[in-house]
């Protein structure tokens, strides 16, 4: 089966009252009055590059997982979500975003492990001890923020530099830290109920009328990493790859095929079977995280479906 016939690689809509559109790495965001209409496409990115082929049902997985967790955490922090009129769409309140992503890590893995293996013992201003093993749990979750780049690479940054450079005020940063720890705790508890471990994730925040709110997606495979708890306790400390639910396996496939987003490197071809394997991994993660079967939306006229559902919602 040709994955292209089942996927939504992008949109180019024009809605009544639309004042702006932003095409991100994964989402197409339309500004209509004080609302944001966020379309989760099937694009996939890694190493800050959009990969050449879209992944069927990926956008639906991301959107529906984000809605699931935003609804489950709105008692902790107010969020931007108002409605989800289509399987690939969320509509919410437009906020002024903070120009940082609050990355929180419970374990030494992924980017943190790669930095650690290169000999670095300070990550975003956080001291790391010698002798840690791959995938080892930290005594306490650590926050390792990144700058939020509109183009190019996000960069690691410390709390001290964020505040000193005026990116976020000291008062607001304390609130962001508090919310980040509380959201990670809730996400970890929800994961544990499903036999999973929330390993690391990132949160984005904004302000509306002086109030800090949670924006964008949370606890999805694009923003988070999960381990299967049983496998983790069996395999930790052994020289075997950790079984995880995230898009890290996509990064690993790219690395194996000679691409890490560095100058001069060529993006490898993505065969159909690999594209479908990524799709299946996303669906599997959705079902494991939520405990619900994944109901595939009709993709026969996916762009028309999405546009019609948005327009129907906007008409009220």
The verdict on 81 and 49 lying in the same domain is: yes
Of residues 179, 199, 177, 178, the one with CA closest to residue 289? 199
The verdict on 196 and 310 lying in the same domain is: no
| Residue 261 domain-assigned (yes or no) | no
Q: How far apart are CA 315 and CA 89, in angstroms?
A: 16
| Residue 267 domain-assigned (yes or no) | no
The verdict on 104 and 164 lying in the same domain is: yes
| Residue 268 domain-assigned (yes or no) | no
- CATH code for the domain of 179: 3.30.470.20
Tokens representing 31 are 């500004």
Q: How far apart are CA 134 and CA 235, in angstroms?
A: 11
The verdict on 74 and 153 lying in the same domain is: no
| Residue 254 domain-assigned (yes or no) | no
| Residue 47 domain-assigned (yes or no) | yes
Domain tally for the chain?
2
- CATH code for the domain of 288: 3.30.200.20
The verdict on 67 and 196 lying in the same domain is: no
The verdict on 157 and 209 lying in the same domain is: yes
CB 134 within 8 A of CB 110: no
Res 42: pLDDT? 97
The verdict on 300 and 223 lying in the same domain is: no
Of residues 43, 20, 91, the one with CA closest to residue 309? 91
Q: In what helix (H) or strand (E) does residue 143 lie, and over which residues does it extend?
A: strand 137-143
Res 149: pLDDT? 65
The verdict on 120 and 199 lying in the same domain is: yes
- How many C-beta atoms surround the C-beta of residue 279 within 10 A? 21
Res 1: pLDDT? 80
The verdict on 227 and 127 lying in the same domain is: yes
| Residue 260 domain-assigned (yes or no) | no
- Per-residue pLDDT of the chain in tens (316 residues, 90 and over written 9): 888 889 999 999 999 999 999 999 999 999 999 999 999 999 999 988 999 999 999 999 999 999 999 999 999 999 999 999 999 999 999 999 999 999 999 999 999 999 999 999 999 999 999 999 999 999 999 999 999 865 556 799 999 999 999 999 999 999 999 999 999 999 999 999 999 999 999 999 999 999 999 999 999 888 899 999 999 999 999 999 888 887 888 988 999 999 999 999 999 999 999 999 999 999 998 999 999 999 999 999 999 999 999 999 999 8
The verdict on 107 and 217 lying in the same domain is: yes
Domain end position, chosen among 227, 245, 263: 245
The verdict on 159 and 238 lying in the same domain is: yes
Q: How far apart are CA 88 and CA 85, in angstroms?
A: 8
How does the average pLDDT of the chain come out, rounded?
A: 94
- How many C-beta atoms surround the C-beta of residue 278 within 10 A? 22
Tokens representing 107 are 């374990």
| Residue 286 domain-assigned (yes or no) | yes
Name the pTM for this structure.
0.90
Of residues 244, 257, 250, the one with CA closest to residue 277? 250
Domain that holds residue 29: 3-94+273-315
DSSP 256: H
CB 83 within 8 A of CB 66: no
DSSP 257: T
CB 281 within 8 A of CB 251: no
Res 316: pLDDT? 86
Res 3: pLDDT? 86
The verdict on 116 and 227 lying in the same domain is: yes
DSSP 134: T
**Exposure class string for 246-258: b at 16+ Cβ within 10 A, else e:** bbbbbbebbeeee
Q: How far apart are CA 219 and CA 65, in angstroms?
A: 7
| Residue 256 domain-assigned (yes or no) | no
**Burial class of residue 64 in the structure, from the number of CB atoms within 10 Å of its CB (0-12 exposed, 13-18 middle, 19+ buried):** buried
């Amino acid at each position: 089966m040709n994955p292209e016939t089942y996927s939504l690689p992008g949109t180019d809509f024009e809605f009544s009252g639309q004042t702006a559109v932003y095409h991100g790495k994964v989402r197409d965001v339309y500004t209509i009055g004080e609302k944001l209409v966020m379309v989760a496409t099937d694009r996939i990115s890694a190493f800050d590059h959009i990969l050449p082929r879209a992944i069927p049902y990926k956008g639906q997985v991301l959107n529906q997982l984000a809605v699931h967790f935003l609804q489950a955490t709105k008692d902790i922090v107010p969020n931007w979500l108002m409605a989800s009129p289509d399987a690939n769409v969320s509509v919410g309140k437009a906020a002024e975003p903070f120009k940082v992503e609050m990355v929180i890590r419970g374990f030494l893995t992924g980017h943190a492990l790669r930095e650690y293996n290169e000999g670095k013992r300070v990550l975003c201003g956080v001291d790391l001890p010698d002798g840690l093993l791959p995938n080892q749990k930290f005594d306490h979750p650590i926050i390792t923020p990144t700058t939020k780049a509109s183009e190019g690479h996000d960069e690691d940054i410390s709390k001290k530099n964020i505040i000193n450079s005026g990116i976020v005020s000291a008062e607001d940063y304390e609130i962001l830290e508090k919310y980040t720890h509380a959201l990670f705790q809730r996400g970890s508890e929800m994961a544990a109920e499903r036999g999973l471990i929330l390993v690391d994730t990132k949160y984005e925040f904004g302000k509306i009328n002086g109030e800090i709110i949670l924006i964008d997606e949370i606890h999805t495979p694009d923003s988070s990493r999960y381990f299967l708890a049983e496998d983790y306790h069996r395999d930790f400390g052994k020289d075997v790859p950790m079984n995880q639910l995230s898009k890290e396996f996509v990064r690993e496939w790219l690395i194996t095929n000679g691409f890490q987003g560095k100058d001069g490197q060529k993006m490898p071809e993505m065969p159909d079977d690999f594209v479908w394997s990524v799709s299946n991994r996303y669906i599997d993660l959705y079902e494991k995280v939520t405990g619900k079967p994944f109901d595939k939306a009709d993709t026969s006229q996916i762009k028309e479906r999405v546009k019609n559902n948005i327009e129907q919602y906007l008409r009220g």
